[in-house]
Amino acid sequence: MENKVFSELGLDESILKAIDAMGFEEPSKIQAEVIPVLLEGHDVIGQAQTGTGKTLAFGAPVLSRIRSSEGKISSIILTPTRELAIQVNDELNRIAKFTKIKLLPVYGGQPIDRQISALRRGIDIVVGTPGRVLDLIRRKVLNLSSIRFLVLDEADEMLNMGFIDDIEEIIKNSNQDRQTMLFSATMPEEIKRLAKRYMKSETKHIAILKNAMTVATVDQYYYEIKNKDRFETLCRILDVDEPTSAIIFCKTKRNVDELVEGLQGRGYTAEGMHGDMNQNQRINTLRKFKEGNLEFLIATDVAARGIDVENVTHVINYDLPQDVESYVHRIGRTGRANRKGVAYTLVTAREYMSLKHIEKVTKSKIRRREIPTVDEIFVSKYKNMFSKIKETLEQDSYKKFIPMATELDEEFNLVEVAAALMDMVYSKEVNYDYTENEIGSKTDYKRLFLNVGRLDKINPRKLVDFFNENAKVKREDVGDIDILEKFSFVNVTEAAAESIMKHCTGKKFAGRKLNVEISTKSKR
């Protein structure tokens, strides 16, 4: 089956413009299957795992079919958790960027008065958790009698969390002449019963087969960076690891072009592949990469599809992929034929939670690495030079230079001559004069112990929000978060540690009096 493009699916021009601005070149499987069916007006059951692009699958057709400011809510989207409601709302806002459609996320833990005020000012789409949505309905401030679209996102999770009765009450308060969309990774009997009772008889059931979500032969790491340091961090990684064959993934075609230009300017052998290049260009670039005449292939997800090169040692996610499926596809370009591969991902503090979501869904461990220092680059290059010098001395080719070396020996110390030659080689190898002040150096973290854990139903986002609200600690001040069954460990900067201990100790969090201590167990 030929791959589709978004422009062939029947979406509104303003939505296509936003999708293009988001950097998406081609729909995922669930998007390609679901969007045309929803645009035709059918009820849909979409069965696909988390991280396959479901939000865009239902969001793009819904946004294509409504107009703003009709004075009535046109769509309600139910999600199991506050975190997912925020995530879905944020993505829908990006898709609606070139429209005047107004969205509102509603969930517990936020002042309800603020949500009521927003509803009275006029909202087109409400994204929320069942409990808060039902509360607003009972208060007579949320009227769903005229909605055109109802979306149940992650229905099986809502079932597991005991929301079925709330969902049924919400549906009974909704316009019966509506289009309903139900998305669920699994289809337990209770969800089937719900679909049969409240969805039309001609409902389309679209199931996307589950792919393997782990790549056992790939070691996965991430670097937490500031966005301004993204390019410098990449160069340092390349100079320390010295990969012989690496694919570097970018989100957009423009990013590919800019990165290729930047890397070539530093002396790396790099070329790009994306949808705007003609077939001959792509074939030529791929041939050079396969033959080992090109170290670094810079590509978008779509351009890299179908690349089958067994000796790729590294995959680097220069930009975080749009979904879990793309991440798995990317890192699957290395670690082939039972060879070991390495995958690096560059993430900002803002992107950290998306990375943790990828880690959770793929059930893999993505370990943190510190950005390489100048000293580490020097040591790496020194070892490489030393190895090459030993190889040269084991051959005869150097002997033609003995007369020149003898002449230099008369004027200089030969150790100094050797050091000068190594300096020349080092400069050529690195092609750049790194200085520590151009990029964030290692952050010294304090490791904190907290007396709350999984049993208290906490997650990293709740912890970070609590620290921010009570101790004014920003996300970028927080490193790794390890949540265990009854307690947790959090890495934070020294200043943040002091603030958290001062302002959070003794406060009520997750129904318990919080105890914060400096951990005596260091993380290795």
Instruction: Supply the DSSP string of 303-316, one letter for each residue.
Output: HHTT---TT--EEE
Of 21-30, 223-232, 256-265, which range is least confident?
Answer: 21-30
Provide mean pLDDT across the span 299-323: 83
pTM > 0.85: yes or no: no
Of 19-23, 36-40, 204-208, 306-310, which range is least confident?
Answer: 306-310
Residue 316: burial class (beta carbons within 10 Å; 0-12, 13-18, 19+): buried
Provide mean pLDDT across the span 147-152: 97
> How is residue 501 annotated by DSSP?
H
Residue type, 23: G
Taking the C-alpha atoms of residue 327 and residue 367, their distance in angstroms, rounded to an integer, is 15
Taking the C-alpha atoms of residue 204 and residue 464, their distance in angstroms, rounded to an integer, is 41
To the nearest 10 degrees (0 to 180), the angle between helices 460-471 and 494-503 is: 80
pLDDT band at 523 (very low <50, low <70, confident <90, very high): very low
pLDDT confidence of residue 436: 46
Provide mean pLDDT across the span 9-17: 95
Residue type, 123: I
Of 71-85, 102-116, 261-275, 300-314, which range is least confident?
Answer: 300-314
Q: Could you tell me whether strands 75-78 and 218-224 are parallel, antiparallel, or unpaired per DSSP bridges?
A: unpaired
Sign of the Cα pseudo-torsion (65, 70, 74, 80, in order) = positive
Q: Which fold has domain 6-207?
A: Rossmann fold (3.40.50)
Residue type, 3: N
Taking the C-alpha atoms of residue 6 and residue 21, their distance in angstroms, rounded to an integer, is 13
pLDDT confidence of residue 474: 83
CB atoms within 10 A of CB 341: 21
Q: Is the pLDDT of residue 403 over 50?
A: yes
Mean pLDDT of the chain: 87
Q: Where are the domains of the chain?
A: 6-207, 218-368, 380-437, 445-518
Taking the C-alpha atoms of residue 122 and residue 284, their distance in angstroms, rounded to an integer, is 55
Provide mean pLDDT across the span 393-411: 82
Fold equal for 218-368 and 445-518: no
Q: Which CATH superfamily is domain 445-518 in?
A: RRM (RNA recognition motif) domain (3.30.70.330)
Provide mean pLDDT across the span 343-372: 91
Q: Which fold has domain 218-368?
A: Rossmann fold (3.40.50)
CB atoms within 10 A of CB 59: 27
Specify whether the CB–CB gap between 377 and 239 falls below 8 A: yes
Q: Of how many residues is the chain composed? A: 524
Provide mean pLDDT across the span 217-242: 91
pLDDT confidence of residue 81: 87
Of 159-168, 239-248, 424-433, 472-481, which range is least confident?
Answer: 424-433
Specify whether the CB–CB gap between 379 and 352 falls below 8 A: no
Each as own residue / partner, the long-range contacts of residues 389-394 (CB below 8 Å, 24 or more positions apart, any chain) are none
- Partners of 523 in the β-ladder: none
Provide mean pLDDT across the span 212-219: 72
Provide mean pLDDT across the span 247-273: 92
- The two tokens of residue 228 are 């301004």
Specify whether the CB–CB gap between 336 and 307 falls below 8 A: no
pLDDT confidence of residue 74: 95
Q: Is the pLDDT of residue 181 over 70?
A: yes
Read off φ and ψ for residue 408, nearest 5 degrees. Answer: -65, -35
Distances (CA, A) of 183 to 7, 80, 94, 131: 24, 12, 21, 19
